[in-house]
Structure 1
Amino acid sequence: MEKNTILEQLRAAKAAHINWVQRAKMLISGFKMEEDAIPVNSTQCKFGQWFYSDAQRLNGLRNNPLDCMSEIEKLHFELHDIYLNIYKIYYDLEPQGFFSKLFGKKKKITDDSVKLAKEYFASMEEVSKKLVNEINLMERRIVALPDTDLETL
């Protein structure tokens, strides 16, 4: 695989992560968001889809200089765990019937709930900063690798 392709995919995944965090912020700020606009499952968001597919090929590098993969995975899981708390505030976890979905059964959000969601989001932002730093580190390491090391992927 060519270095440029790997870097483009990495940068697109990083941008997808940043957008995911921004959608969570919009939800807390009062914007109406569909439940599936901010995936709870770490393998369903665009970053997770990249991480568990194309990014895993990077583990095949000889003398793998990308030891940040496990830290990225840990931070990514942590983010989704925190977001699950926010999700529970804004969306029902109970399965909805046809008419509830059709007529938009809305969960009542109190001021205290919003305050709690903002606290969770502050934690999310801190973890997100760490994740972006790890992604940036990964990018610098890939840039430094000789092209020949990446051609075998």
Structure 2
Amino acid sequence: MSKKEALAQLRTAKSSHIQWRSDVQGYLLGLHVDTRKLPIIHTDSHFGNWYYTQGQKLSNLPSYKEINLNLEEVFIKYRELYKFLHSTPKKAGLFTSQAKMDSQRQEQKQKLMDNVLHSSQALIATTTKLENELMKMSDDEFDKLI
């Protein structure tokens, strides 16, 4: 694998994560999204697949190791959101209106999505850091790395 190919794979993985995030946001808004595009385990995502296969060749680089923590965090936060979305909403009680219950549920849903977005932004930042490390390397340095 050449440095150019490694960069292309990394950028494809990064783009796929951004698309995954967009699909999650669409799903949250009630848009039709093929749920097969929304794996709940990080190793099942396109990014995770790249990271644990072709990306392993970059495992000696410092920012590569940081990516793992960010990737796991994104999917921990996403699973929290997923569980919430698929839970049964509480019904209004004697002292609480349905409108208030719905409002609270909407606020909680948004908070969980914000957590996913924050973790995703950290993943993208670390991926960009890895991309920059690769671009600064000479072809000879890259060849020694692999």
- TM-score under structure 1 normalisation? 0.78
Equivalent residue for 1:141, pick from 129, 133, 138: 133
Give the letter for the 2:115 counterpart.
S
Give the Cα separation in 1 of the matches to 2:4 and 2:112.
36
Give the letter for the 1:18 counterpart.
I
**Shift, 1:86, TM fit:** 1.5
Residues 93-146 of structure 1: CA deviation (Å, up to 9, x unaligned)? xxxxxxxxxxxxxx7798344432221110111111111111111011101111
The worse-fitting range, judged by mean Cα deviation, of 4-13 and 24-33 is 24-33
Identify the residue that residue 15 of structure 1 maps to in structure 2. 15
- Is 1:123 aligned to 2:115, yes or no? yes
Percentage of identical aligned residues: 25
**Shift, 1:151, TM fit:** 2.8
Give the Cα separation in 2 of the matches to 1:75 and 1:46.
15
Give the letter for the 1:83 counterpart.
Y
Structure in which a larger fraction of residues adopt helix = 2
**Aligned pairs (5 A) from 1:1-153:** 1-59=1-59, 64=60, 66-91=61-86, 111=102, 112-151=104-143, 153=146
Give the Cα separation in 1 of the matches to 2:25 and 2:55.
27
Asked if the contact 1:89–1:113 (Cα under 8 Å) also holds between the matched residues in 2, the reply is no
Give the letter for the 1:87 counterpart.
Y
RMSD (CA atoms): 2.0
SS of the aligned residue for 2:69 comes to helix
Give the Cα separation in 2 of the matches to 1:22 and 1:145.
32
**Shift, 1:37, TM fit:** 2.1
Give the Cα separation in 2 of the matches to 1:67 and 1:51.
14
Give the letter for the 1:131 counterpart.
L
- Structure-2 change in CA distance of 1:55 and 1:127 (3 Å): same
Give the letter for the 1:81 counterpart.
I
Asked if the contact 1:40–1:83 (Cα under 8 Å) also holds between the matched residues in 2, the reply is yes
Give the letter for the 1:130 counterpart.
A
Give the Cα separation in 1 of the matches to 2:34 and 2:83.
14
- TM-score under structure 2 normalisation? 0.82
Larger relative contact order (Cα-Cα within 8 Å, sequence gap ≥ 6): 1
